[in-house]
Chain A
Amino acid sequence: MAQTAERFFAHDAPRRTAPWRSERVRSVVFQLAIVAIVVAIFAFFASNAAENVHRQGIASGFGFLQREAAFEIGNKVVPFNPANSYGWALLVGFVNTLTVSAVGIVFATLLGFVVGLARLSTNWLVSRLALSYVEAFRNTPLILQLFVWWDVLRISAPPDREAWQPLPGVFISLRGVTFPAPIYHPIYLWVAIAALLGLIAAIALGAWARRHRERTGRGLPSIWIGLGLVVIPPVIVFLAGGAPLSFDVPQLLRFGFRGGESVTPEFAALVFGLVVFAAAYIGEIVRSGIQAVSRGQIEASRALGLSRGQMLRLIVIPQAIRIIVPPLTSEYLNLIKNSSLAVAIGFTDFLSVGNTIMNQTGQVLEGFTLIAVGYLLINIPTSQLMNLYNRYMALVER
């Protein structure tokens, strides 16, 4: 009886839950348990590792980074010789990875946009061709494609004397790809500065024109003026400097090529393979981004009487870009990560240098830690930037 009365009047008294039923307490206990389990697993692995390292007599610590490397790196942007330290070797590998990635990203973006637009072409042959390209390269492993390109350059390519010449001045032979390079002249620096200033002016003008249009409804041909600002000043500087343009064109001599720039077969195969593979994905991203802009938007802009150019510039491209950029960024990250397949075709990238060092010193734990940190240093900031961009773009939405 007393119990019923108590329950009946319970809402008057402050309600007390037993501690084990309170959500707060439960949540804290649960989290403590999870953290304890994770720590226990780590402790188990760490103690095993400590014991194994001790038992196998492997050195520990990062002291090895200062020791002499005593191996050669075939491909390098940064100077290196075997007398340099392991630490420097790792840096050379890291710069190689960044170089391959940067070159790959530029060409993959260009080719990818071409493929994406070709997929949308009204020409049946063009769109079918682009589709076959996408299906062929997306449905086979990248490593297989890299092996094929590498073997083509290593086995099927001709010696220097009979080098393939896909474009005038560009030679493909067993020793790699040789191509003409412009000879540097001090005026180039000023040309670059002029272009940069022009670009800044164009961006400022674009922002002003946009505000002007929103205020008055009158548009300026800001694209054309902007383009003029970017192109004309550098051209004037270039001409004023006497137009010193000359190319160092490779020439075939008796013992191979002289002049021009050249890249090794490994570099060429890696970059080519990464570009061709990534472009298939980027093509699909571009196509779906453009198609995702709803038909109503296009019809509405026609109804407003916008020209085709205005429609693309003001309506379609801004919306498509918002859809395209996030997957495009993660495709770039994939390309950077995939560049580690270099290790399979003998290009000395970050992973492959790290691997050599681990083979020589036996310090796997430290080696893998450095390698992991290196890749995370590239990837995590990029993905954070992408998240920021996403948030910024999402604000524009209703």
Chain B
Amino acid sequence: MNGAATQALGFQRGYRWARANLFNSWFNALLTVAIVLACVRIALPALDWAVVRASLNAPNIAACHERGGACWAFIVDWYRFLLFGRFPYEEQWRPGVVIVIFLALLLATCDRRLMGRPLAALWIIGLAAVGVLMWGGVFGLPYVETDLWNGLPLTLILAVGSIAFSFPLALLLALGRRSSMPAVRGLCVLYIEVVRGLPFIVVLFMGVQMLPLFLPPNVFISKLWRAEVVFILFIAAYVAEVVRGGLQAIPRGQFEAADALGLGYWRQMRLVVLPQALAISIPPLVGTFIGAFKDTALVTIVGFFDLLQDASTGMNDPTWRGAYVEAYAFVALIYFVFCYFMSRYSRYIETRLGKGRR
């Protein structure tokens, strides 16, 4: 086939596609035209601002304003503070490596071949490395206090730590809620419903302002670990409900068969029920994790230097004052990449589970 004919065929195909997908009724045709017009009016100026007239290299915000576009020079100048906050400047390779470790761990968790013991081993090694890198004080690394663990590593530590450590508590709560013992069931229901009835920010305020009152006078827990404890206790109630959903989906026959095999309660759960229940719970669990990841942004309200706080510090710097859209865009992009990747992964698991069932 010669070039012109291929091109003609392409046009024909494009025309047919447009007929079927853009202009299949007068209403849709109207919508299409309206959207295209709106794009021209909104998207083009936005593109002009963000790309064409943007400055990657400028001494200050005034120079950016002169070109009339986005001031990405601010991000270029400030990216280390935005990512790592007040972590000592020459030591910032450490949180950098920590981010890479977390990414590697998250990717490894998505790999089915590593499921089970190897994955657990990887996580233990990885978290130990994170601890060493962040704290320092050994192997010639200077000690860094937890107040200076800022930015993206803080977000990751809070999110990953909360989901990982809330899991055992959540399992017990979920099993307790379905227990035949009224006292156990009552306590679990009370905990889950109360925690889920409260806004996270209220619980976070409580943890930061009220928790010290409940501890003996000589015990002091740093703010980071107080927030982490609050995250764990809070997320556990949500994870418990997800696991309960998984438990409810297990057919009665499985319990009865396990009974018939003479397995006791804990062995029944460990060998028969939980492996099945947890497998179906993976997609909603990932959803909960995404929620926890986004909720970490709330620590900015109680005075943590997380990504958002770093961004506001940057946009209030005299040299770059007012570059708030650029700063928020940078932070939003980081959150978006993580959450989008995780939601894709959850959808992939969901389709795979669906295939296994049919």
A and B: interacting chains: yes
On A, residues with C-beta under 8 Å from B are 27, 30-32, 34-35, 38, 45, 48-49, 51-53, 55, 121-126, 129, 135-136, 138-144, 147-148, 151, 155, 337-341, 343-344, 351, 355, 358, 364-365, 368, 371-372, 375-376, 379-380, 383
- Check B198 against A375 for contact (C-beta < 8 Å): yes
**CA A351 – CA B209 in complex, angstroms?**
14
- Check B21 against A122 for contact (C-beta < 8 Å): yes
Task: Choose from A49, A126, A129, A340 the contact partner of B199 (Cβ within 8 Å).
Answer: A340
Given contacts A31-B181, A125-B22, A155-B324, contact A365 B336 (CB under 8 A): no
Majority SS at the chain A contact face:
helix
Q: Which residue of A lies closest to B331 (CB)?
A: A144
Q: In the complex, which residues of chain B have a beta carbon less than 8 angstroms from the beta carbon of A45?
A: 214
Question: What's the nearest-Cβ distance from chain B to residue A52, in Å?
Answer: 5
Tell me whether B104 is interfacial, beta carbon within 8 Å.
no
Per-residue 0/1 for B198-239: is the Cβ within 8 Å of any A Cβ (1 yes, 0 no)? Answer: 111110011001101111110000000000000000000000
Q: Which residue of A lies closest to B206 (CB)?
A: A368
Task: Choose from B183, B210, B212, B296 the contact partner of A35 (Cβ within 8 Å).
Answer: B183
Tell me whether B133 is interfacial, beta carbon within 8 Å.
no
Question: What's the nearest-Cβ distance from chain B to residue A43, in Å?
Answer: 11
**CA A141 – CA B213 in complex, angstroms?**
30
Tell me whether B254 is interfacial, beta carbon within 8 Å.
no
Given contacts A31-B183, A140-B335, A340-B201, contact A365 B210 (CB under 8 A): yes
- Check A27 against B181 for contact (C-beta < 8 Å): yes
Q: In the complex, which residues of chain A have a beta carbon less than 8 angstroms from the beta carbon of B205?
A: 351, 355, 368
Tell me whether B300 is interfacial, beta carbon within 8 Å.
yes
- Check A34 against B183 for contact (C-beta < 8 Å): yes
**CA A389 – CA B212 in complex, angstroms?**
41
**CA A93 – CA B193 in complex, angstroms?**
24
Q: Which residue of B lies closest to A380 (CB)?
A: B197
Question: What's the nearest-Cβ distance from chain A to residue B245, in Å?
Answer: 12
On B, residues with C-beta under 8 Å from A are 21-22, 24, 28, 31-32, 35-36, 180-184, 187, 193-194, 196-202, 205-206, 209-210, 212-217, 290, 294-298, 300-301, 308, 312, 322, 324-325, 328, 331-332, 335-336, 339-340, 343
Task: Choose from A51, A129, A344 the contact partner of B301 (Cβ within 8 Å).
Answer: A344
Given contacts A34-B183, A368-B205, contact A383 B339 (CB under 8 A): no
- Check B31 against A125 for contact (C-beta < 8 Å): yes
**CA A338 – CA B295 in complex, angstroms?**
11
Given contacts A48-B215, A49-B214, A123-B31, contact A338 B335 (CB under 8 A): no
- Check A123 against B199 for contact (C-beta < 8 Å): no
- Check A135 against B340 for contact (C-beta < 8 Å): yes
**CA A326 – CA B263 in complex, angstroms?**
36
**CA A355 – CA B336 in complex, angstroms?**
31
Question: What's the nearest-Cβ distance from chain A to residue B295, in Å?
Answer: 7
Q: Which residue of A lies closest to B182 (CB)?
A: A31
Question: What's the nearest-Cβ distance from chain B to residue A384, in Å?
Answer: 9
Question: What's the nearest-Cβ distance from chain A to residue B123, in Å?
Answer: 25
**CA A124 – CA B196 in complex, angstroms?**
39
**CA A38 – CA B339 in complex, angstroms?**
37
Interface pairs A-B: 8 shortest CB-CB: A141-B297, A139-B339, A124-B21, A379-B197, A337-B199, A31-B183, A340-B199, A141-B294
- Check B210 against A340 for contact (C-beta < 8 Å): no
**CA A99 – CA B28 in complex, angstroms?**
37
Q: In the complex, which residues of chain A have a beta carbon less than 8 angstroms from the beta carbon of B22?
A: 123-125
- Check B21 against A147 for contact (C-beta < 8 Å): no
- Check A139 against B197 for contact (C-beta < 8 Å): no
Q: In the complex, which residues of chain B have a beta carbon less than 8 angstroms from the beta carbon of A49?
A: 213-214
Task: Choose from B181, B213, B301, B343 the contact partner of A53 (Cβ within 8 Å).
Answer: B213
- Check A140 against B198 for contact (C-beta < 8 Å): no
**CA A110 – CA B339 in complex, angstroms?**
26
**CA A121 – CA B28 in complex, angstroms?**
9
**CA A143 – CA B298 in complex, angstroms?**
7
- Check A138 against B339 for contact (C-beta < 8 Å): yes
Q: In the complex, which residues of chain A have a beta carbon less than 8 angstroms from the beta carbon of B206?
A: 368, 372
**CA A76 – CA B145 in complex, angstroms?**
43
Given contacts A45-B214, A337-B198, contact A123 B184 (CB under 8 A): no
- List 14 additional A-B contacts (Cβ < 8 Å) besides A122-B24, A351-B205, A376-B198: A141-B294, A141-B295, A144-B328, A147-B328, A148-B324, A151-B324, A155-B322, A337-B200, A340-B201, A341-B301, A344-B301, A351-B199, A376-B194, A383-B197
Task: Choose from A125, A358, A372 the contact partner of B198 (Cβ within 8 Å).
Answer: A372
**CA A337 – CA B201 in complex, angstroms?**
9
Q: In the complex, which residues of chain B have a beta carbon less than 8 angstroms from the beta carbon of A140?
A: 294, 332, 335-336, 339
Given contacts A124-B22, A144-B335, contact A34 B200 (CB under 8 A): no
**CA A199 – CA B182 in complex, angstroms?**
45
Q: Which residue of B lies closest to A371 (CB)?
A: B202
Q: In the complex, which residues of chain A have a beta carbon less than 8 angstroms from the beta carbon of B340?
A: 135, 139
- Check A376 against B197 for contact (C-beta < 8 Å): yes
Q: In the complex, which residues of chain B have a beta carbon less than 8 angstroms from the beta carbon of A144?
A: 297, 308, 328, 331-332, 335
27 contacts between A and B (CB under 8 A): A27-B181, A31-B181, A34-B183, A48-B213, A48-B215, A48-B217, A52-B212, A53-B213, A123-B28, A125-B35, A135-B343, A139-B335, A140-B336, A141-B294, A142-B294, A144-B297, A147-B328, A148-B328, A338-B199, A340-B202, A368-B202, A368-B205, A368-B209, A375-B198, A375-B199, A380-B197, A383-B196
**CA A383 – CA B189 in complex, angstroms?**
13
Q: In the complex, which residues of chain B have a beta carbon less than 8 angstroms from the beta carbon of A337?
A: 198-200
Task: Choose from B193, B214, B335 the contact partner of A141 (Cβ within 8 Å).
Answer: B335
- Check B210 against A123 for contact (C-beta < 8 Å): no
**CA A45 – CA B210 in complex, angstroms?**
11
**CA A355 – CA B210 in complex, angstroms?**
12
- Check A375 against B339 for contact (C-beta < 8 Å): no
Question: What's the nearest-Cβ distance from chain B to residue A257, in Å?
Answer: 26
**CA A46 – CA B328 in complex, angstroms?**
43
Question: What's the nearest-Cβ distance from chain B to residue A316, in Å?
Answer: 20
Question: What's the nearest-Cβ distance from chain B to residue A201, in Å?
Answer: 33
Task: Choose from A34, A126, A135, A375 the contact partner of B202 (Cβ within 8 Å).
Answer: A375
Q: Which residue of A lies closest to B312 (CB)?
A: A147
Q: In the complex, which residues of chain B have a beta carbon less than 8 angstroms from the beta carbon of A341?
A: 201, 298, 301
